């Protein structure tokens, strides 16, 4: 934290900590020492990067936290549960779920992969990789039909390094930057549109500024911006205003570029004639959807993936409770990952509010008749839950051990996903089929809410312990 004057404003702004000014200063000093792992700030950081925005000295406190993650990983390894989101690892979400996609969606994903592998030049590219490949039906919306010939992607592009950057995997993210440079150059790409706005932030800001990436591109934009441009031009024509009430979830990386993404999604909703009621935490103060609440369990807290899983559920529940408190019928987000995990939690815990991806909302308001989207999301939610449960069982079979240090992907080629044996595919498919009927059931909802209440009590006890002298 070069330039840090230890004012404590970064930790005062942290949505996961409730610190007095004096305690915030004390924790900043602890983070700057060799005993950083004892700080609640390290133990509860979910990489929302709010601290970066408020630092008056531009001392990059968020980057400092990522450095601490990297240091801790070098000493102790990364928690077993991280295998789910690292495409190079056996048991990742893509290997564990893509074979369960309906045939037309599997063919759709394979087409995206082939377009990259063929080497066919693509002046305009709609990048569909990573979390979009978990819910590929969203890319087949009628409103996106003009972009279909430009769609290509692969989990082997690591979501433009978004997750690896947040986990402090510097070498991995640097290799991803080099890989993307080569892919764009080989395909003759001049214009990139990213399905996931976080990937636009990585390409525009993080990879050039932190990893020295040099992209020979004329423009980088998100799908949200493409949708807004279509609405402004009259190329996308929504039906009569429904006067519905929605609330908006701003994902963590929407804070980049001065919060441009937060303005774009609100203008789109306004163009659709819908009313917005903001959550208590929104815009620059928005909370993480819950995904990144799994991160602390990958570092401090032992080997168990269960802590990460419970942290994820607690964070998702917190966000959904805020959304329901607005009285809105819909929770809207433009992030495929936030959309998937919030939908999963809303169904698993019996929440009344419905979760919509922004593109899906625009498509519905423009009159698309397709009616099976919620059912497809339920199926994907069950698949993801099956993969998470299987990871926890793998950890138990491994003797409750399994910390590891991920290797960087090749920088000169897109690496295929690890093969999943047929017997494992069958077990995952059976588990997903058993879990699907539980979504929305009162018994399951009570069990989930009980588990979350227990986690909140444990967190309160940890916070109290951290405030005691000598801890």
The alpha carbons of the chain give a radius of gyration, in whole angstroms, of: 21
95 and 212 share a domain? yes
**What average pLDDT does range 336-341 have in this prediction?**
96
Mean local confidence (pLDDT), 218-228: 97
- Residue 154: CB atoms within 10 A of its CB come to 24
- Model pLDDT, residue 333: 97
> Would you state the pLDDT for residue 261?
94
Neighbouring C-alpha atoms within 13 Å toward the C-beta of 12: 12
Contacts 24+ apart (CB under 8 A), 419-425: 419/95, 420/90, 420/95, 420/96, 420/99, 425/99
Q: Which of 24, 49, 75 is the last residue of a domain?
A: 75
- 52/153 same-domain check: no
For 266, the token pair is 């609100």
40 and 105 belong to one structural domain = no
Do 36 and 89 belong together in one domain?
Answer: no
The answer on 103 and 61 residing in a single domain is no
Condensed to tens digits (0 to 9), the pLDDT of residues 11-70 reads 999 988 889 999 999 999 999 999 999 999 999 899 988 999 899 999 999 999 999 999
Q: For residue 429, what are its two tokens?
A: 């498919």
For the segment 82-127, what is each residue's pLDDT rounded down to a tens digit?
A: 999 999 998 899 999 999 999 999 999 999 999 998 889 999 999 9
pLDDT confidence of 458, banded at 50, 70, 90? low
- pLDDT for res 424: 94
Residue 274 belongs to a domain: yes
Q: Same structural domain for residues 71 and 84?
A: no
Domain range holding 328?
80-401+419-456
Residues in contact with 465: Cβ distance below 8 Å, sequence separation at least 6, in sequence order: 471
Residues 53 and 104 occupy one common structural domain: no
Q: How many domains does the chain have?
A: 2
Give the residue, 200 or 463, on which the prediction is more confident. Answer: 200
pLDDT at position 463: 57
Instruction: Quote the pTM value.
Output: 0.93
The predicted pLDDT at position 129 comes to: 76
The answer to whether the beta carbons of residues 390 and 427 sit under 8 Å apart is yes
Give 242's pLDDT tier (boundaries 50, 70, 90): confident
Q: In this model, does residue 311 exceed pLDDT 90?
A: no
Mean pLDDT taken over the chain: 91
Quick check: is 406 in a domain? no
Cα 429 to chain centroid, rounded? 24
pLDDT for the residue 257: 83
Judge if 64 and 103 occupy the same domain. no
Same domain membership, residue 104 and residue 88: yes
470 belongs to a structural domain: no
Q: Is residue 471 part of a domain?
A: no
Confidence of residue 264 (pLDDT cuts 50, 70, 90): very high
**Residue 330 pLDDT > 90:** yes
In a domain, 467, yes or no: no
Percent of the chain beyond pLDDT 70? 96
Q: pLDDT digit string (tens) for 121-174? A: 999 999 997 899 999 999 999 999 999 999 999 999 999 999 999 999 999 999
- If asked whether residues 160 and 219 sit together in one domain, one would say yes
Out of 75, 104, 122, pick the residue that ends a domain: 75
Q: Are residues 37 and 160 in the same domain?
A: no
Of the three residues 75, 105, 121, the one that is the final residue of a domain is 75
In a domain? residue 2: no
Task: Work out the pLDDT band at 467, boundaries 50, 70, 90.
Answer: low
pLDDT given for residue 307 in this prediction: 82
Give me the pLDDT at residue 454, please.
72
Q: Is residue 322 a part of any domain in this protein? A: yes
Do residue 428 and residue 391 come from a single domain? yes
Q: How sure is the predictor about 299, in pLDDT bands with cuts at 50, 70 and 90?
A: confident
Q: How far is CA 22 from CA 6, 76, 324, 346, in A?
A: 10, 31, 35, 38
Across the range 183-201, mean pLDDT stands at 96
Answer yes or no: is 1 within a domain: no
């Amino acid at each position: 934290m070069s330039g840090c004057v230890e004012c404590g404003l970064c930790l005062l702004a942290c949505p996961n900590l409730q610190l007095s000014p004096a305690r915030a200063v004390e924790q900043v000093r602890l983070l700057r020492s060799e005993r950083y792992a004892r700080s609640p700030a390290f133990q509860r950081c979910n990489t929302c990067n709010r601290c970066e925005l408020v630092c008056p000295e531009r001392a990059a406190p968020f980057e400092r936290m990522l450095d601490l993650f990297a240091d801790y990983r070098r000493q102790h390894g990364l928690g077993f549960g991280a295998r789910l989101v690292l495409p190079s690892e056996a048991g990742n979400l893509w290997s564990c779920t893509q074979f369960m996609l309906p045939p037309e969606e599997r063919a759709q994903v394979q087409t995206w992969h082939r377009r990259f592998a063929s080497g066919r030049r693509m002046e305009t590219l709609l990048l569909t990789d990573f979390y979009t490949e978990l819910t590929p039906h969203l890319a087949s919306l009628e409103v996106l039909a003009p972009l279909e010939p430009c769609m290509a992607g692969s989990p082997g592009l690591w979501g433009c390094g978004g997750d690896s950057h947040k986990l402090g995997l510097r070498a991995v993210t640097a290799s991803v930057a080099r890989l993307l440079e080569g892919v764009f150059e080989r395909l003759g790409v001049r214009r990139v549109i990213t399905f996931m706005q976080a990937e636009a932030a990585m390409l525009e800001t993080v990879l050039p500024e932190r990893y020295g990436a040099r992209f020979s591109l004329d423009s980088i934009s998100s799908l949200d911006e493409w949708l807004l441009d279509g609405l402004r031009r009259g190329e996308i024509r929504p039906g009569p205003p429904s006067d519905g009430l929605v609330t908006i979830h701003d994902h963590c990386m929407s804070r980049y570029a001065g919060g441009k993404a937060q303005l774009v999604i609100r203008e789109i909703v306004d163009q659709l004639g819908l009313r917005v009621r903001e959550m208590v935490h929104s815009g620059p103060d928005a909370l993480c959807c819950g995904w990144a609440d799994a991160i602390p369990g990958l570092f401090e807290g032992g080997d168990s993936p269960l802590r990460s899983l419970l942290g994820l559920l607690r964070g998702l529940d917190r966000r959904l409770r805020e959304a329901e408190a607005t009285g809105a019928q819909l929770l809207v987000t433009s992030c495929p990952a936030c959309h998937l995990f919030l939908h999963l939690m809303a169904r698993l815990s019996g929440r009344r509010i419905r979760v919509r991806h922004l593109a899906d909302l625009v498509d519905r308001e423009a009159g698309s008749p397709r009616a099976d989207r919620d059912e497809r999301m339920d199926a994907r939610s069950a698949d993801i839950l099956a993969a998470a449960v299987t990871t926890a069982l793998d950890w138990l079979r491994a003797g409750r051990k399994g910390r590891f240090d991920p290797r960087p992907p090749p920088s000169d080629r897109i690496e295929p996903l690890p093969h999943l044996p047929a017997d494992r595919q069958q077990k995952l498919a059976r588990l997903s089929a058993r879990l699907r009927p539980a979504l929305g059931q009162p018994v399951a909802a009570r069990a989930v809410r009980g588990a979350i209440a227990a986690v909140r009590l444990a967190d309160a006890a940890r916070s109290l312990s951290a405030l005691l002298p000598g801890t």
